[in-house]
């Protein structure tokens, strides 16, 4: 699958931070059961790589790695089973690491200049981050004119209530959000509750 194929698979890509490694597999199963197959597991906790490995074994799950900020993280995430990467920004070192690792990268951008710089490096799919502070729907509409060949996954400050406003834009393939994996449901082991959130998110397209 290309990165664009992955982005178009699910209307919402959950941004997942695993605090308890025992949550990884049941969480992945719950999300996939609700129709959310693309999972972004962040490296914000020490269990990130282990969770990627465990969740990659769940049937139907397409697991990527999020919060890539250091070049050495690319190969480690790829070896753990990640099939795509997401970063909050883009630097020359991250570009080199993405190319050497072969891990498709969805880099974060916030301004038109950053979009143009990323495009010059061959990136056609970008994450508008943080989406709402960056201007949200208004910014994406403005970018669609001069930079209409770029496809976005806006992430940051988006909720299930506001997601449809983003998903109807022609230059948006999906949105990123953390509301699909609330800590209270995860700590309670309420996987049916998370499946219900996933089903609601799947219906947003």
* Cβ partners under 8 Å of residue 77, min gap 6: 43, 49, 52, 65, 68, 85, 103
Q: Which two tokens stand for residue 19?
A: 């605090």
| Residue-by-residue DSSP string for 118-131 | HHHTT--EEEETTT
Q: Is 120 a catalytic residue?
A: no
Residue in 40, 59, 120, 199 annotated catalytic: 40
Q: Is 183 a catalytic residue?
A: no
CA distances from 139 to 7, 37, 79, 160 (A): 20, 28, 36, 19
Residue in 127, 161, 168, 170 annotated catalytic: 127
Q: Which two tokens stand for residue 62?
A: 């397409």
The three-state secondary structure class of 160 is coil
For residue 145, what is the DSSP state? Answer: T
- Looking from the CA of 124 toward its CB, the CA atoms found within 13 Å total 8
Neighbours of 22 (CB within 10 A): 11
Catalytic positions are 40, 127
């Amino acid at each position: 699958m290309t990165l664009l194929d992955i982005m178009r698979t699910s209307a919402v890509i959950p941004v997942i931070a695993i605090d308890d490694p025992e949550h990884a597999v049941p969480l992945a199963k719950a999300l996939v059961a609700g129709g959310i197959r693309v999972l972004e597991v962040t490296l914000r906790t020490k269990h990130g790589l282990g969770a990627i490995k465990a969740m990659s074994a769940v049937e139907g799950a397409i697991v990527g790695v999020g919060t890539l900020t250091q070049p050495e993280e690319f190969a480690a995430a790829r070896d753990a089973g990640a099939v795509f990467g997401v970063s909050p920004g883009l630097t020359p070192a991250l570009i080199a690491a993405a190319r050497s690792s072969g891990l498709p990268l969805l880099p974060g951008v916030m301004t038109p200049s950053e979009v143009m710089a990323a495009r010059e490096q061959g990136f056609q799919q970008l994450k508008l981050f943080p989406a709402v502070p960056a201007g949200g729907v208004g910014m994406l509409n403005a970018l669609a004119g001069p930079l209409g060949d770029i496809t976005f996954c806006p992430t940051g400050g988006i909720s299930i209530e506001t997601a449809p406003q983003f998903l109807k834009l022609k230059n948006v393939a999906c949105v990123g959000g953390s509301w699909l994996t609330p800590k209270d449901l995860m700590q309670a082991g309420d996987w049916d509750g998370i499946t219900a959130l996933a089903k609601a998110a799947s219906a947003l397209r």
